[in-house]
Structure 1
Amino acid sequence: MTKPASAIRRAVLLCSLALPSILYGQQPDRLPVRLFVGYGPGGGTDVVARAVGEELAKIWNRPVIVENRPGANGAIASKAVARAEPDGSTFLVMPPTTLIIDAYLRPTVAVDPTKELTLVSGLAATPLVVVTPASAPYNNLADLIKAARAANGKFTYGWANLGMRVGMEEFAQKTGIKMTPVGYKSAGQSVPAIVSGEIDMLMIDMAPIAQLVKAGKVKALAVSTPERSPMLPNVPTFKEAGIDVQLTGTIALYAPAKMPQNAIKKMQSDVATILKNGELRTRMQGTGMEVITQSPEDFEGYLKQRKKSIDAVIKVGDFKLE
């Protein structure tokens, strides 16, 4: 091998070894890290992104900026990350179910999370809570179901992401009711709609709605998890209401697909570190969420099982993307 060729090989090797330190902000002149969120401010995904971003910024000593890119059921944000340079400066915070559903419904145009993105880690999980306007005449889930059946398809519910949409479809299938979906760009937009009575029902994650429940602005009829939520301990579960549906909203962190594996591992380590932070856990619990403690591998296994149930719901319901 010639000396110039040998020198080039050594330079390439040194660059590859230096990659993780460059990726994670040890260069003060690097641009800030961006966390893309596919919804507007105020929803659970946005809350998680901002909390996680603040903690990562402390570790990296580098600005972390949340960029809200609402629209197209989160696809604007997911496509931006899928097409970004895998240099450690761009990530996606998104409910995995939204990516799964969009890829199922629009396989030729949606981002395929298994090919165009890399799952870094689960971040947070939240119960979903069924709420109605405070003026609604029903005070429990049985009354709501009875009213929805009597409305012959005119009973409306709001949704702000595809996970919420399919969750409601699963609820409708289990209870044998037909409802009319009303879509919003973000949870922050759907909340005023339920408060004002623009829609009849909303099933939403805990973060944007819990304080309104406590203030009496809306009624909470049930939570979707097997156990009651400490945030709303007086609200019964679906199981207590005799409905065999268990839904947990999850939020995860993704990187562009071609991000080097050693950089992914470093990112996973950093995320695991901040998720163990007691202050962050307390902050999450204050919004009704819990940090996800599963390993990335176990969380990915959970998502594969969840995909099977989502596929079944969509097939049975002849689900259409509005």
Structure 2
Amino acid sequence: MMRKRDLFRHGAALLTTCLGLLAGAAHAAYPEQPVRLVVGFPPGGGGDLYGRTLASALGKHLGQTMIVDNKAGAGGNIAAETVARARPDGYTLILAMSGNLGSAPAIRPSLPYKVPEDFVPIAQLVETPFGLMVGSNSKIKTVQEYVAAAKGGKLTYASTGTGGAAQIVMEMVKQQAGLDILHIPYKGSGPALNDLYGGLVDSFFAPYTPLMGQIVGGKLRLLAVSTAKRVAAMPNVPTLKESGIDVVMTQWYGLAAPAGTPKDVVDTLSRAVKAALQDPELIKVYRADGAQESTLAGDAFRSFIVKDIANYKRAVERGNLKAE
């Protein structure tokens, strides 16, 4: 007859085995309910469009509804904090971006989350270039004329906020070209563009893809883009690098989960993202106006984020920049 101690050990081992099988079954069945994608933008913006396009395509391959949860504010940092504190079960994900997982950690040491420690980077999705722009009524028509004007006297440039990715990248431009250009921060591109058109500010630096309507319509003049190569859709627009300003940076968007998310869940999401990135509708949206889908995933995406933070941090330190 089995002694009580042996019976207890046998029962405990059986219980552990059953729990393991149940956990494995739960993970294997992922996802069993709708998945929330937290987006750090209000509805209707470029980032929101990328997030909703991803949610639609990803939901098809996961076999579950993807719910977009807009948590705008603080440059996407509220969304990042929400996901960093979420239960790591694969049912709360974030549309990560260069703002909340790149420039913010470089300029805001007191963030309530850590990058990349508090996240599992799953895949980079799309990159969109920054653009140096002037109004159509500006006398400046080339990067060379812009540099000459900056060296000949004070120029101003607008961005969508102090401490944001665009301001830090423009700081890189200033450092590389040896320019002294006064930064004028705005709360959004709308007010910045109004003052640009009105001649109250000389230039605007931001991701240009949401502004293609104004560029094509002749209200904005795009002087240069921040990609390594010229954008195929605009072959006449040079890169900053070929114009003598060695800056190659992009505004990127990706998918990440809270740290501690089980590997099999992450693997399921990775496979779904890979399949979603072949979706014709998603490719059409992501490639519109010069953006380009990415192939970085897993550890490669994590390494990219670490390098991106380091690039931003160097510009922050050299320019002695401070967040708002």
TM-score (norm 2): 0.87
User: Partner of 2:25 in structure 1?
Assistant: 18
Preserved contact between residue 115 and residue 257 of structure 1 (Cα < 8 Å):
yes
Change (3 A) 1:15 1:307: same
* 1:110-125 alignment, distance < 5 Å: 110-125=112-127
* 1:157–1:179 contact (8 Å) kept in structure 2: no
Question: Is this contact kept in 1: 2:157–2:205, CA < 8 A?
Answer: no
Residue 8 of structure 1 corresponds to which residue in structure 2?
15
| Alpha-carbon shift at residue 42 of structure 1 (Å) | 4.4
Over alpha carbons, which structure has the higher Rg? 2
Number of aligned residue pairs = 316
Q: Which ranges in structure 1 are unaligned for 5 or more consecutive residues?
A: none
TM-score by length of 1: 0.87
Residue 25 of structure 2 aligns to which amino acid in structure 1? A
**Contact (CA 8 Å) 1:124, 1:250: kept in 2 or not?**
yes
User: Sequence identity, in percent?
Assistant: 27
Maintained 8 Å contact 1:210/1:288: no
User: What residue is the counterpart of 1:165 in the other structure?
Assistant: 167
Note if contact 2:61-2:275 (Cα within 8 Å) is conserved in structure 1.
Answer: no
Q: Per-residue deviation at 1:175? A: 1.8
The answer (yes or no) to whether the contact 2:156–2:181 under 8 Å persists in 1 is yes
* Correspondence list, 1:59-98, <5 A: 59-96=61-98, 98=100
Q: Is structure 2 residue 269 aligned with structure 1 residue 267?
A: yes
Q: State the AA in 1 paired with 2:273.
A: V
2:50 maps to 48
Partner of residue 35, structure 2:
33
Code of the residue aligned with 1:104 in structure 2: it is: A
What one-letter code is carried by the residue in structure 2 that aligns with 1:155? T
Q: CA deviation at 1:184?
A: 4.6
Q: 2:107, 2:313 within 8 Å by CA — same for their partners in 1?
A: no
Residue 240 in structure 1 maps to residue 247 in structure 2: no
Superposition deviation, residue 221 in structure 1: 0.8
State how far apart, in whole Å, the 2-side matches of 1:41 and 1:145 are: 37
> Is 1:224 aligned with 2:231?
no
The change in CA–CA distance for 1:164 and 1:50 in structure 2 (over 3 A counts) is same
How far off its partner does 1:193 sit? 5.6
Indicate the SS of the match to 1:155.
strand
In 1, distance between residues paired with 2:38 and 2:198? 30
Gaps of 5+ in 2: 1-6
Partner of 1:142: 144
Matched-pair contact (CA < 8 Å) for 2:128–2:292: yes
C-alpha distance in 1 between matches for 2:271 and 2:195: 40
C-alpha distance in structure 1 between counterparts of 2:94 and 2:195, whole Å: 27
Q: Please give the alpha-carbon distance, in whole angstroms, between the structure 1 residues aligned to 2:193 and 2:69.
A: 21
Q: Answer with 107-116 or 94-103: which moved more.
A: 94-103
Q: Which of residues 288, 291, 297 in structure 2 aligns to 1:289?
A: 291
Counterpart code for 1:18? A
**Code of the aligned partner of 2:93:** F
Task: Indicate the residue corresponding to 1:301 in structure 2.
Answer: 303
User: How many angstroms apart in 2 are the aligned matches of 1:192 and 1:47?
Assistant: 23
Give the superposition deviation at 1:50.
1.4
Shift of 1:40: 2.9
> 1:66-111: CA deviations, max 9, x gaps?
2222222221110011111112221111223542332233333342
- 1:172 Cα deviation from its structure 2 partner: 1.1
Shift of 1:271: 0.7
What value does the CA root-mean-square deviation take over the aligned residues? 2.5
Q: Is contact 2:106-2:309 (8 Å) kept?
A: no
| Worse-matched range after superposition: 271-280 or 182-191 | 182-191
What's the secondary structure of 1:209's corresponding residue?
helix
